[in-house]
Structure 1
Amino acid sequence: MNWQALYDAALHSTDSAAGYYNRNAGLDTPDGRVNVRIPLAAADVMDVRVWQEEDVLAAVRPYVDYAPELRHVSHAPRFQVQSFIEGDLLDGFSPRGSAVPDHVLDDAVALMGQLAAIPQGKMPPVPDDWPGAGSSAAFGRHLAALTERLHADHQDEYAGVFAHFGFPADPLAPVSERWASLIPRPFAVLHADLHRKNMIVAAGSTWFLDWELALWGDPVYEVAIHLHKMDYPPEQREGLLRRWLAALPPESTTGWRRDMETYLWHERIKSAIVDTVRYSKQVASPRTDPATRDVLISRLAKKVNAARLVWGRVPDVTPARVRSGLRKGPKHPSP
C-alpha cells in the first residue's frame, strides 16, 4: 500500500467530514475501503487529552469488540488509516434527544464493561501529573482545571457575551466545592466521547469511533458524560443506568448518584463556555447557511440554560438573546 498516495488522495477528497479535531476521508483501496484520519492543524483544544488515538486503538483492540482497526500510522505527516465502518450514523436517524434502538443501550454499556476490564499496564503511560489511581476527587479537579483555563483564556474576548448570557464571575463555583466529596473508585479506561456522531449502527450492532479523548479515570465520569452528550429520553436514561449498574463491578459504581450529578454539572458548565466560543465562530462563518445558523443558535440557548440551572438562575435564555449576545463577542475573520 502506498500510504503517502493515500494521504494525498484524502487531502483532496470531496467525500470527507470534519469534527473539531480531525478530518476523515473514506477511500477505496485494493484491500477494501478505509478511513484516512488527518488532524486539523488549527483546532482549538477544548478537551483533556492524555494519549495519541492510534496508541489507544492498538491497546484496546484485544478487549473491545466494536472499534475501528488501526491499519497504519504516519508521524510525518500526521495521519492514521483505520478500517472503514459501513453502516448508519446513529445521529443520522436518531438525533440528540430522541430514542435510540434498545440494542444501542446494551452496546454502550457492554463497551463500558469491556473498557473497565483493561488493566492499566496494557494502556500507554499517563502523564506524570495524572491523578493517582482511584482518586476520583483529583480526577474531577483535573477536568475542571482545563475548563477554568478555557474560561480564563476567553474571558477578555467574550466578556460581553458571557455577561449577556448570565455567566457568573466564577462559573465553576458550584462544582469546585463538591470535588472533595467524590467517592474513590478504581480507575478504568474511558472512551469519554460516546455520543451519536461517534456511533455507527450496522447489522444490529453499534461501532464506536473517535478514540482521541480516551482517558484513564473514574468510570462514573464515563456514564455521566455519555448521558450529557446523548440526551436520552427519560425512560432510556433510566434504562441505560440500570444496565450500567448491572454490568460494572460494585466497586466501580459505589456512590455513583451524587458523583454523577457533580460530573453532569461540570459538563453543563463546560458546554456553555466551550460552545459559546465554538458556535460563535460557526455562526459567523460565511460557510454556515441560515438554517444551520438557526439550529446552532437554538442549541446554544439550550446549553446555556442547562448551565443556568446549575448556577441557580432561571433558564430563560432565548435564541433571540443568544443572537444578540453573540454580537457582543469578537468579530471572527472569514475562514
Structure 2
Amino acid sequence: MSPESDSPALKRAVELSGDAGAVEGPLHGYHHETYVVPLPGVAGEAGQVRWKCREPRPGLLWFDRRCFASEEQLLRALEGRIEGIPGLIPELTETVHPGLQRFIEGSTLGALHGSGTEIPHVFFEQIVSLFEQLARVKADSLTVDRTCTPEDRPAEGDTAGFLERLVLFTERDVYQRNMRDFAGLFHDLGLDDTSFGKLREHVSGLTGRPFCLLHADLHRENFVVDEEKRLWTIDWELAMFGDPLYDLATHLYLMRYPADQERWMAKQWCEAVERVAPGSSAGWETDLPKLLAFKRAQSVFTDVIRTALSIEGAEGTPGRSVLAAAGDGLRKVLGAATEPLGIAEPTAEGVTAALGGWREERAKRP
C-alpha cells in the first residue's frame, strides 16, 4: 500500500494515522472504499481503537433508495435509542475527526456462518432483539435530515404506498435510467416496461401496518461478531422509515436461512415487534410472500447490470468460461422471479447468448 496512490480514501487514511504501514485495507465493500486506521491520541475504554476511513467509490451505480442524508447523523441520533447487545452502534469521534466510525474488531457473521447455513442461537436471539428495538423507533421521534421529499413519503401505515415507491425507484432509477446502455440486454432477457405492471399486480393488496425505522440491509456481512459473541450492526446507509415487514423480508431474502430457521425467525419476529408496536405483524402470512417476490424481482434488474459489467472485458478462452458462469448465475436470479415479473423460464444457453450479444455490441461502441 502506497501513500502515493490516487485513492482519496487511502490518502486521507495515511494522513490521519501518520503511518502508511499502520493502514489496513481496502476492506471489501460495494459502496465505499474503506481503510482502517489507528488515530494518534484517540483511544477507547480498552485502550487503542481503530477507525474506519472511507470514501464513496467513484462512478458507482446506486441501486437502492436512500432516505437519510447522512449515515453518521443517523447513528448519532440512534445513540441511546438502539442499545444493548444487538444495537451496539460504533461510536463516532466528533472532537478530533468528524464522521469517522469505530472499526469493530471481529469477524462478520458471514465469515463464521456462511450463506445457507444455520446461525447459532446466541446470534439469532440478538437479531430478533434488534428488530424489536427498531420497531420502537418512529419517524416523529427521530430528528435526522432526510433526502426524500415529503411528497415522496407514504402516509403512516400505508404499506402499499411504501412498496409502490420502492417499485417506482427500481423502474425509474435502475431500469429506465440505464436503458441507454442495457436496453438490448433487457429485451433479450424478456424484460420490458410491462414487467413492472405485472410486478405491481402481483404484490398488490398489502395490509396496513404501523411504520418504524428499518435497517433495510440486514445480511450476514452487516453483522460483526466480537470476541464476546456480541453482534454489532453496521452499514446503515440504506435505512429508512416504512413497513416493518419489509425489513423482515429483506433480511430473510439476504440471509438465506435454512427453511426451519427461516420459519422460526418469522415467528420470533412477529412476537418481538408486537410486544412494542401492536399491529406491526398484521397480515404477515399473506404479505410476506409478496414482499419476498418483490425482492426477487428487484434483484433481477440490479443483477442484470452488474453481471453485464462484470463480463465486459472478458475475452478469449477465459472469457468464454467467465461468460458461461455469469450466464448460469443470472439464469438463477431470473428463474426465481418468473412469477412476479411474468417472464418465461430462462435457460442457461439463452441467458449466456444474451450476455455475449451485449458484450459484442458494447465492444463496438466508441
User: Normalized against structure 1, the TM-score is what?
Assistant: 0.85
CA distance in 2: counterparts of 1:281 and 1:122, whole angstroms: 39
CA distance in 2: counterparts of 1:309 and 1:74, whole angstroms: 53
Change beyond 3 A, Cα 1:235–1:179: closer
In the other structure, the counterpart of 2:353 is 324
Tell whether the 8 Å contact from 2:128 to 2:265 is kept in structure 1 after alignment. yes
2:330 is the counterpart of 1:308:
no
Q: CA deviation at 1:148?
A: 0.8
Mean CA deviation greater in 106-115 or 209-218: 106-115
Change beyond 3 A, Cα 1:39–1:160: same
CA distance in 2: counterparts of 1:298 and 1:82, whole angstroms: 38
In the other structure, the counterpart of 1:22 is 32
Mean CA deviation greater in 290-299 or 180-189: 290-299
CA distance in 2: counterparts of 1:122 and 1:21, whole angstroms: 25
SS at match of 2:333: helix
In the other structure, the counterpart of 1:66 is 88
Moved over 6 A (4+): 289-295
| 1:127-172 Cα deviation digits (max 9, x unpaired) | 3121121111111111111111121222343233223333354222
SS at match of 1:200: strand
2:169 is the counterpart of 1:146:
yes
In the other structure, the counterpart of 2:67 is 50
2:97 is the counterpart of 1:81:
no
In the other structure, the counterpart of 2:309 is 281
Tell whether the 8 Å contact from 1:96 to 1:231 is kept in structure 2 after alignment. yes
2:144 is the counterpart of 1:124:
yes
5+ residue gaps, structure 1, are none
SS at match of 1:284: coil
- Letter aligned with residue 117 of structure 1: R
Larger radius of gyration: 2
Q: CA deviation at 1:28?
A: 2.0
Mean CA deviation greater in 148-157 or 66-75: 66-75
Change beyond 3 A, Cα 1:312–1:275: same
In the other structure, the counterpart of 1:114 is 133
Give the number of equivalent residue pairs: 324
Correspondence list, 1:148-297, <5 A: 148-149=171-172, 150-167=174-191, 169-177=193-201, 181-202=205-226, 203-249=228-274, 250-284=278-312, 297=327
Tell whether the 8 Å contact from 1:33 to 1:83 is kept in structure 2 after alignment. yes
Tell whether the 8 Å contact from 1:16 to 1:24 is kept in structure 2 after alignment. yes
- State the identity %: 28
CA distance in 2: counterparts of 1:155 and 1:267, whole angstroms: 21
- Letter aligned with residue 246 of structure 1: E
Q: CA deviation at 1:237?
A: 0.6
Mean CA deviation greater in 263-272 or 15-24: 15-24
Tell whether the 8 Å contact from 1:137 to 1:182 is kept in structure 2 after alignment. yes
CA distance in 1: counterparts of 2:202 and 2:353, whole angstroms: 34
CA distance in 2: counterparts of 1:270 and 1:220, whole angstroms: 16
| 1:178-198 Cα deviation digits (max 9, x unpaired) | 555211111100000011121
Change beyond 3 A, Cα 1:195–1:73: farther
What do you get for the CA RMSD once the two structures are aligned?
3.0
5+ residue gaps, structure 2, are 1-8, 44-48
User: Normalized against structure 2, the TM-score is what?
Assistant: 0.79
SS at match of 2:195: coil
SS at match of 1:15: strand
